[in-house]
Amino acid sequence: MEFKNCFIIAELSANHGGDLNIAKETIRAAKRAGADAIKLQTYTADTITLNVRNDNFKINQGTAWDGQYFYDLYKGASLPWEWHKELFSVAKEEGLVCFSSPFDRTAVDFLEDLGTPIYKIASFEITDIPLIEYVASKGKPMIISTGVATLEDIELAIEACKREGNHDITILKCTSAYPADPEDANLVTIPDIIQRFGVNSGLSDHTLGIEAPVVAVSLGAKVIEKHFILNKSIGGADAHFSLDESEFKMMVDAVRMAEKMMGKIDYELTEKKKNSRYFSRSLFIAEDVVKGEAITKKNVRSVRPGLGMHPKHFHEILGKSFTETLEKGTPLEDRHIK
């Protein structure tokens, strides 16, 4: 993927409330909020876990989902596959890119039939090298989250893509806590990813608020992904760390402003800067002087405005003499010095 501006993704995830109309209206709201893309998750409870009722499959990790079995959580959160075609269509009508995270080969095949333009590998799937290889073999841009990844995991995932001839890779810094604490964001990892792996980087953000994406963009992030919900009253597995329309728009506006502020490397004086140089310092006659009088620290000073000689010449002209009589407040020029 080539990025002129940061690619901002609204993650639908489980924020559909089991209602197709809510899912469709969420896509429309994401467009209003300024998103570039809407991302789905394509799985069923059976493709992502096992329907087993023992402690291995009961969540007890200090999360908002503790006490639930994996199967029940994913059964309630999954996006029905029969909705996908219509949601892709709504996104197209709105001018949004629509794509998804597949969680097994059947989901990849299903998304291929829908013509998905991008694939996203979720953080917890980064170790599933066979899945990554299969996804990469489709030749679409790959976005990979790293929320639970070691350095080796990232290396293996990138190598898997490249083995399939897919070099269009974006690695997202991510903290897999829901919500994530700001001190765990470690956003300086973003430029390190870019330099270390020679890929694009970005942020899949689970912190509350909008600050992390703005900082990420200033550090070189080309992709921002944030969970998006139509209304937090819908509830669901991800509602507590998702942004609603007004919050998401604030984030988009802040990111776009950050991009403008970053601008380009520039040391040239524009006309505006040249005009502002009037307020800079320069050398002026600080008291009335006569022709032949010596230049001293008392009769020449560096002051505002910037109409006289550059202050860098101050020490080299001390002790020289004036070529003419000058009044206090006269900008000092070369022709005044002998």
- Residue pair 121/143 in contact by the 8 Å Cβ criterion: yes
- 267 Cβ contact list (under 8 Å, min separation 6): none
Just give the CATH number of 7-43+78-262: 3.20.20.70
Could you tell me where in the chain the CATH 3.20.20.70 domains are found? 7-43+78-262
3-state secondary structure of 328: coil
Work out the angle between the directed axes of helices 245-262 and 20-32 (0-180°, nearest 10).
Answer: 30
Alpha-carbon span 122 to 85, nearest angstrom: 21
- Residue pair 188/160 in contact by the 8 Å Cβ criterion: no
Question: According to the model, what pLDDT value does residue 231 have?
Answer: 94
Question: According to the model, what pLDDT value does residue 249 have?
Answer: 98
Alpha-carbon span 211 to 162, nearest angstrom: 33
pLDDT of 79-127, one tens digit each?
Answer: 999 999 999 999 999 999 999 999 999 999 999 999 999 999 999 999 9
Spans of the chain below 50 pLDDT: none
Could you tell me where in the chain the CATH 3.90.1210.10 domains are found? 271-336
- 165 Cβ contact list (under 8 Å, min separation 6): 136, 139
Q: Can you give the pTM of this predicted structure? A: 0.87
Domain 271-336 architecture: Alpha-Beta Complex (3.90)
* 8-state DSSP, 335: G
What is the Cα 315 distance to its own chain's centre? 49
Alpha-carbon span 307 to 330, nearest angstrom: 9
Question: According to the model, what pLDDT value does residue 254 have?
Answer: 98
C-alpha count within 13 angstroms, C-beta hemisphere, residue 175:
21
